[in-house]
Amino acid sequence: MRLLRLEADGEFSLVEFVSQNIPRYAILSHTWGADDEEVTFKDLADGIGQRKPGYSKISFCGKQAAKDGLQFFWVDTCCIDKSSSAELSEAINSMFRWYHNAAKCYAFLSDVSISSSIEINLSSQQILAIQYSRWFTRSWTLQELLAPTSVEFFSAEGKRLGDRISLLQEIHNITGISVQALQGSPLSQFNVNERLSWAKGREAKREEDAAYSLLGIFDIHMPLIYGEGRQKAFIRLHREIEQSSAANWQADELIL
């Protein structure tokens, strides 16, 4: 696993760890902008990317992690070398575990602007802004919401909005996800069709990711075949679920 480290001069460096020696780390959940706006692994390796819009999210995560006493943090845009298909496949199959093992998870809502940092005084208008955040419409953020022990939400200004528990009812209303699941109950306690229903209406930039983003939700692994299309990706996903499910499961719908 490759982590970012905030150095004394304010710059970031990438450090690779083997699975047995991974330090405590924070992890970022966010929505991607245009590809050319995000800071990539190559950008950091080449010492560039500070002028890209996506750099501000990395900076926020590093500073917030430092406030929480964490030297290391992980951001998907630049901690994965996506030019390596093997590394990308390993990362996607490990993603749920990485979010689950994080000491802190920060959900950065780039389209929510809040002037006050006092979460208990959120107005009805600000709650409405959270409700319509793009973050709740993306495929990957489903596992990023459920995998960590806790999730803290932040506005575009880096103001803390609350966490998964303090915003429990609002998140339940937005997503339709069981309150028990949001409170941390094991996902295996929820039947397959209910878990599939949580992903309905969510979108991914690459169509296959709508299926691949559910691997951790069902605790399964499978190879990635970008280019196979959404339908074939979901057929393979359903096949893997059937093989791993102790119950005789039949999908309500084949494709989400």
Question: Which tens digits make up the pLDDT trace of 46-75?
Answer: 988 898 999 999 999 999 999 999 999 999
Q: Above 70 in pLDDT, residue 154?
A: yes
Q: Are 161 and 175 in contact (CB under 8 A)?
A: no
**pLDDT at position 40:** 95
Q: How far apart are CA 192 and CA 251, in angstroms?
A: 8
Q: Do 53 and 159 fall within a single domain? A: yes
Q: How far apart are CA 83 and CA 92, in angstroms?
A: 14
Q: 177 to each of 83, 143, 144, how far by Cα in Å?
A: 34, 12, 13
End-of-domain residue from the set 169, 185, 201: 185
**pLDDT at position 247:** 47
**pLDDT at position 75:** 98
Work out the average pLDDT over 207-232. Answer: 97
Q: Cα-flanking dihedrals φ and ψ of residue 5, to 5°? A: -130, 130
Q: Do 27 and 120 fall within a single domain? A: yes
Q: Do 90 and 138 fall within a single domain? A: yes
Q: How far apart are CA 206 and CA 61, in angstroms?
A: 25
End-of-domain residue from the set 185, 205, 224: 185
Q: Do 69 and 169 fall within a single domain? A: yes
The pLDDT tens digits for 70-92 are 999 999 999 999 999 999 999 99
**pLDDT at position 121:** 59
Split at pLDDT 50, 70, 90, the class of 18 is confident
Work out the average pLDDT over 121-136. Answer: 81
Poorest-pLDDT segment among 20-24, 230-234, 245-249: 245-249
Q: Do 225 and 164 fall within a single domain? A: no
End-of-domain residue from the set 185, 206, 240: 185
Q: Are 137 and 185 in contact (CB under 8 A)?
A: no
Q: Above 50 in pLDDT, residue 118?
A: no
**pLDDT at position 47:** 86
Q: Do 121 and 213 fall within a single domain? A: no
Q: Do 104 and 16 fall within a single domain? A: yes
Number of folded domains that form the chain: 2
Q: Do 224 and 234 fall within a single domain? A: yes
**Residue written as token pair 């689950």:** 100
Q: Do 146 and 198 fall within a single domain? A: no
Q: Do 167 and 218 fall within a single domain? A: no
Q: Do 14 and 45 fall within a single domain? A: yes
Work out the average pLDDT over 118-134. Answer: 73
Sign of CA dihedral 208, 210, 216, 220: negative
For residues 117 and 43, the model is more confident at 43
Other C-beta atoms closer than 10 Å to the C-beta of 174 total: 17
Determine the structural domain holding residue 74 and report its residue range.
2-185
Work out the average pLDDT over 100-115. Answer: 93
Q: Are 17 and 3 in contact (CB under 8 A)?
A: yes
Q: Do 98 and 221 fall within a single domain? A: no
